[in-house]
Homo-oligomer: A and B are copies of this chain.
Amino acid sequence: MTRRFIRAAAASVLLCQTAFAQAAGPVRDYRRANEHRILREFVQLLSLPNVASDNEAIRRNAARIVEMMTARGLRPRLLEAATPNVAPAVYGEWRAPGATRTVVLYAHYDGQPTDPRKWTGTRPWEPTLRSAPFEKGGKILPMPTGGEAINPEWRLYARSASDDKAGVMSILTAFDALRAKDIAPTVNLKFFFEGEEEAGSPHLVEILSRHKELLASDAWVICDGPVHQSGRKQVVFGVRGDTNVEVTVYGPVRPLHSGHYGNWAPNPAMTLARLLASMKDDAGRVTIKGWYDDVVPLGEAERRALAEAPAYDEELKRALAVPRPDGAGRPLLELINQPSLNVNGLSSAETGALSRNVIPTTAVAALDLRLVLGTDHRRQVERLVAHIRAQGFFVTDREPTDAERLAHPLVAKVEVSPGGYNAERTPMDLPVSRAVVEAVQKISEQPVVLMPTLGGSLPLSLIRETLGAPTITVPVANYDNNQHAENENIRLQNLWDGIETYAALMTMKF
């Protein structure tokens, strides 16, 4: 950190604290007076299973959000895709008298699939309070019924507690607070709650295209993802793209006794291990040909923002017990501006109590490929397939026949999930970009972290490509929320902060 930057930062903190005290006031008062009610409404929403592939369940979520918006006088409606049995988006709007700008506020109400057996002491759709994260000895608490003090360090455990029903709650409660305190929004508000984001938003373009005029706006503000690891609020101008691929490799057509055939029948688990090992070097750099070729380098504003973002790698290393991260010493913030190749999961026969002395018939790796500006998801998958072919595999996109397996010593089935999309990056010097930063800074005690790109993915490229609107992401969840995994949770203070943040955004000017 340079001395000049330290001085600037200190001045900025001082400025923040003054503005902050004024800005947060009425909204904070509202929240303090309504914590029990807010929590009750949130718990009710979190009690609904919300995996995007379960259409009936997802529609119960949409119906609940419609009820919540109706209660706020928003006259919501469902935006359906043309394809049947697709999760609808829930839409509503609020015209601000005299406003010349329109902002769409986005969150998603679906959640990642999860195996309830993997949760520790609580279950995904039975929201439960703990006094702290369970890894730190947090005890299960009774749900407050009214009157009790609510500690903002408590954690609420449930699927989507952070990702991303916290977004829905922050936005709708911010709106409540403004109305209760008679503060008029300064921009027209459009609410858009998506229902299949965790499935890769396969029908988002369809929904956006069908409702182009309804959704006309100057910008989308996206409430998703975690705040900075330091706990500081952040504004994010881009996201990585994402595409999922499952690779299956094959052994003998039936499971074989490992004694009678071991040394002779090729083992698909070993074949898969060798294939995966060929994809990265020991510093975690992808060795697939051309993987980094199309990356658009960061501009000057982005490089400066990265340099000014708090360095948090050392704390992360300790917190996650990761003494030697991938990336040969390059910081996390720099590395997420590169495309990635991640193994989401492996399986072949069984391990543990169900393990048997067998040569399995198949081995499967679930992969996700993250994209950055410039790298096209289809082209990246083609590179992966070319790499697998270069390792000697016959590649197919469906279950190989016995004849194909007999004709090729190495066979890989490569299945690309629908819904892959590219990365997106909004310029940091647009008027709306500056207005968003200013609004978030106004209610923050610490300087807001500006991020050119979030590591995670959202289908933001689809929004700009379809509607022409830029997107800016303002997350609210704690970074240690176990998003996408078992034991997802939100720290209550992050929800409280989220309400203030979104109230500030509803009253920004640009």
Q: Report A's interface with B, CB cutoff 8 A.
A: 53, 112-115, 135, 225-226, 239-240, 242, 244, 246, 250-267, 269-270, 272-280, 282, 284, 313, 317-327, 332, 335-336, 338, 340, 342-360, 363-366, 368, 370, 402, 405-409, 454-457, 479-480, 482-487
**Least CB distance, A174 to chain B, in whole angstroms:** 24
Report which of B254, B320, B352, B365 forms a contact with A364, defined as CB distance below 8 A.
B352
**CB-defined contacts of A53 to chain B, threshold 8 Å:** 353
Please judge, given known A-B contacts A253-B320, A485-B254, whether A261 and B356 are in contact too, CB under 8 Å.
Answer: no
Q: Is the CB of B335 within 8 A of A263?
A: yes
Say which residue of B135, B267, B284 sits within 8 Å of A263 (CB atoms).
Answer: B284
- Set B252, B279, B284, B355: member contacting A344, Cβ < 8 A: B355
Most chain B CB atoms below 10 A, which of A351, A405, A482: A351
Minimum distance in angstroms from A388 CB to a CB of chain B: 14
Evaluate contact between A359 and B342: CB separation under 8 angstroms.
Answer: yes
- B346 in contact with A255 (CB, 8 Å): no
24 pairs across A/B with beta carbons < 8 Å? A114-B356, A135-B254, A244-B357, A253-B320, A258-B342, A260-B336, A260-B456, A262-B370, A264-B325, A266-B325, A267-B284, A267-B326, A270-B343, A317-B406, A321-B402, A323-B406, A342-B359, A344-B350, A346-B363, A347-B347, A350-B366, A351-B364, A357-B457, A358-B485
Q: Which residues of chain B come closer than 8 Å to A278, judged between CB atoms?
A: 277
Please determine whether B242 and A259 come into contact, CB atoms closer than 8 angstroms.
Answer: yes
Chain B: which residue is nearest A338 at the CB level? B263
Residues of B within 8 A of A256 (CB): 320, 485
Residues of B within 8 A of A344 (CB): 258, 349-351, 355-358, 360
List, in ascending order, chain B residues with CB within 8 A of A355's CB: 113, 244, 246, 344-345, 366
**Which residues of the partner chain B approach A267 to less than 8 Å between Cβ atoms?**
284, 326, 342-343
Q: Which residue of B lies closest to A252 (CB)?
A: B320
| Contact residue among B254, B277, B487 (Cβ-Cβ distance under 8 Å from A320) | B254
Task: For the complex, give the distance between the alpha carbons of A316 and B342 in Å.
Answer: 37
CA A422 – CA B499 in complex, angstroms?
67
Q: Report whether B366 and A352 are in contact in the complex, using a CB–CB cutoff of 8 Å.
A: yes
Q: Which of A258, A332, A486 has the most CB of B within 10 A?
A: A258
For A332, list chain B residues within 8 Å (CB): 261, 263-264
B323 adjacent to A269 (CB under 8 Å): no
A411 to B480, CA, bound (A): 23
| Cβ–Cβ contact B327 & A263, under 8 A | yes
Asked if residues B274 and A272 are in contact (CB atoms below 8 Å), the reply is no
- A406–B318 touching, CB < 8 Å: yes
Residue A255 contacts which of B226, B365, B482 (CB distance < 8 angstroms)? B482
Closest B residue to A253 by CB, please name it: B321
Q: Are B346 and A348 in contact (CB under 8 A)?
A: yes
The docked-state distance in angstroms from the alpha carbon of A402 to that of B135 is: 11
Residue of B nearest to A403 (CB): B321
Q: How far is the CB of A505 from chain B (nearest CB, A)?
A: 22
CB pair B343 A346 closer than 8 Å? no
**Contact status A342-B357, CB under 8 Å:** yes
- Nearest first, the 4 A-B pairs at minimum CB distance are A255-B485, A259-B456, A324-B409, A273-B276
The answer to whether A254 and B340 touch (CB under 8 A), given A346-B346, A364-B351, is no
In whole angstroms, how far apart are the Cα atoms of A480 and B260 in the complex? 11
Of the candidates B263, B336, B482, which one forms a contact with A254 in the assembled complex, judged by CB atoms under 8 Å apart?
B482
Known A257-B484, A320-B252, A484-B255; contact A351-B356, beta-carbon cutoff 8 A: no
**Contact assessment for A269 and B356 in the assembled complex, using a CB-CB cutoff below 8 Å:** no
Additional A-B contact list (20), CB under 8 Å, known A225-B260, A257-B455, A258-B342: A244-B355, A244-B357, A258-B340, A259-B336, A259-B454, A262-B336, A262-B340, A264-B332, A272-B346, A273-B273, A273-B274, A323-B407, A324-B409, A343-B360, A344-B350, A345-B350, A345-B355, A346-B349, A347-B347, A357-B484
User: What B residues does A317 contact at CB under 8 A?
Assistant: 406
